[in-house]
A and B are shown apart, each in its own frame.
Chain A
Amino acid sequence: MVLTGAEIVIRCLQEEKVEYLFGYPGGAVLHIYDELFKQEKVRHVLVRHEQAAVHAADAYARSTERVGCALVTSGPGVTNAVTGIATAYMDSIPMVIISGQVPTAVIGQDAFQEVDTVGVTRPCVKHNMLVKDVKDIAATIKKAFHIAASGRPGPVLVDIPKDVTAQKCEFVYPKTVSMRSYNPVVKGHTGQIKKAVQLLLEAKRPMVYAGGGVILSDSAEKLTKLVKALGFPITNTLMGLGGFPATEKQSLGMPGMHGTYEANMAMQYSDVLLAIGTRFDDRVIGNPAHFAQVARKIIHIDIDPSSISKRVKVDVPIVGNVGDVLDEMIKLVEGTSERPDAEALSTWWKQIDEWRARDCMKYKNSDEIIKPQFVIQKLWEVTKGDAFITSDVGQHQMWAAQYYKFDKPRRWLNSGGLGTMGVGMPYAMGCQLAHPGSPVACVTGEASIQMNIQELSTCKQYRLPIKIVNLNNRYLGMVRQWQEFFHGNRYSESYMDSLPNFAKLAEAYGHVGLEIDKPSDVEGALREAFKRKNDLVFLDFKIDQTENVYPMVQGGKGLTEMILSAEDL
């Protein structure tokens, strides 16, 4: 069948079973939009800014097992999308972004809305490709989806000049992809896996440290099975929350800069550390030299060889897909009667319980003023711990991660790597579309939410009943906290004057807005919001202006050098 390039693009997306395409039209993609108009299988979601399109597609991928898809025009369409692409890249989210380009004849001539898209996006994509011939569109898109979803996932961009979308050729969608230069390892090395299991069985102070790789490979069940069979303590990183049920006793909470005391202590003083789908990043282990002071054996499972021994030397590296490796490990553990030394394990647990008894997550609640931690705890109660929670970036993000106990994977969507303020609402949009009927809440702050506030309009258009939990402290909270701790209380540009009336703003967009300033009203407001199944409700919580996130490990400090509360300052 002879089709135009634009028809081919849409046919490819249909072949890939793309349910939602998040995008924004413009000159270079007009042919593609024309073809979108003529069909119904791929549903387009019109955002108000291209950054939000990419974030929403990213959230669609994070909350499902599918590849997210976005469509933007050339020039500013692409540059607006860059933040979204970089966000997805840092968190290894599978995504395909299709961008329009100026016609091939004028590429390089500084044409209207021209930008070197492949060049601009190169450092923040897993791969990108410029299609110069209509005959290459189908194979390129097939490749893009394959690369995005396989190995360590990531965003892949396909740049298509306008004239190519108008040319015609025979359409055949390739069934398979074969690339001599790209064959990610999936199966782990059997010998290494055996070595790892042996180390685990001989461990006296074992610790499991699981990251986003567990979520991305859909291995939460396998991980839970292995950890329960071994009876080991586990910590899940910011990207790995929900990889093991947070309400289980074996879960020590999150590690790292704002992790729990018990998780950080157990990470540091373990004798065997099993790291799964995680990358020892600076927000998790603090200073690598300090981390390396304590001798311990480290097993590291990761699909990306470059993640292994990048920041921390490991003893047993296993390159492979987390799920496949966990399968092998479970088989080996189940196949042997050998079990970890029960006495040593019980001594270790006693030590952990002592650390836990410090109750590092306690905070002083108040009857007068709303504490942000209290809002998140109530949010957890009201939603029975079963909502999809997205967050923006800052203090509220940490409070959400600390106080909302995630028992299931893919329920927590945040920008962990890049730390992009403004992701919260677009994430909630992508997530709500992927899970119609499920409760979706966006935990945000008055600063972050304003970075993509225009999307309230998109939410109206698509009737997305998300609940926005705005922890409004009239400060760039995390910046203010650092200025208080490390810059002599000089609050340089961290106070926001002239904030809008968010409740009224939400109403202006056609939504429901609530303002809450008393602790006694928190629960009622949340219940009211979730009762309104068809409305977007903007809950503007006026919270304590000076509340800080504890515990805290300062940047550059060791993992165990924690500030547990204001008294430690």
Chain B
Amino acid sequence: MTNSKTVDVAFSSFYGEQLDAQVRRAYLMLSDNEAANDVVHEAMIAVYRRWDTIDQPAAYLNRSVLNGCRDVGRRRNSSSRLLARIARNDVAQPASDSLADLLSRLPYHHRAAIVLRFYSDFSTREIAEALDCAPGSVGPWIERGLLAMKKAL
């Protein structure tokens, strides 16, 4: 990686273009502003380090952020019981946020596919690329996710 001024200028531009949308999408995945910012910035650093060798930095960033969201989500699942206990013991039960609740209940791939389709307006091919999966998987994930949300609503 060349830490030249040219690279910094190019990356800075890329950073400015991507930051807002990436954080907002990560927020939809995680429902946690700080975690979303952290995931995006760790991915940004990875992109910056490999700026000279990555052909499609935006696609790389998409995958990195989504992978980060998946890891954070996995950790969080295991914490939900204790969170509930603390909340029950010490403060009033949090008000339900229906969309966040519904999204958080979906399996990772279903949730990611829905966010990418209905928030980021990605095509099936773009979603498959971002989730590193076969395009044929995307449709069923979206369908199942929507079905689960409809049922819950």
Q: Do A and B bind each other?
A: no
Chain B residues with a Cβ under 8 A of chain A: none
